[in-house]
Amino acid sequence: MKSRSIIIKGKTIDEQSRCAHYHSALDIIAIKMKCCNEFYSCIHCHEEEAGHSAEVWSKKEFSIKAILCGVCKNELTIKQYLESNYECPFCKAAFNPGCSNHNHFYFET
């Protein structure tokens, strides 16, 4: 189901959720931060604007919709995202595989 209008916080620079920190053609996801239940373009945007430390989603919470595809605006569960092979399961837009280097900022490993 397509999401309603979702606000993405951070230093976003376009409508597909790219930000000042990550803005390649593949940087098209936003992540709902566990600590504040709000979408941010990246961990750095959260650090600069939230005023509190980020919390990590536990493995038992991987069924929560916490990833937003910046192209089609559908929300993915953490599990869907982690198993997506870096492609949106709804619109087939390519996600940045380099984001896996940052998973520990967001998700329990």
Residue pLDDT, tens place only, 31-40: 999 999 999 9
Any idea how long the chain is?
109
- Predicted pLDDT at 12: 82
- Predicted pLDDT at 52: 95
pLDDT greater than 90 at residue 13: no
Taking the CA atoms of the chain, what radius of gyration do you get in angstroms?
12
Lowest mean pLDDT among 3-12, 20-29, 38-47, 67-76: 3-12
Q: How many percent of the chain have pLDDT more than 90?
A: 92
Q: What is the pTM of this model?
A: 0.92
Closest CA to 30 of 54, 51, 6: 6
Residue pLDDT, tens place only, 39-84: 999 999 999 999 999 999 999 999 999 999 999 999 999 999 999 9
Please tell me the distance from the alpha carbon of residue 37 to that of residue 26, in angstroms, as a whole number: 24
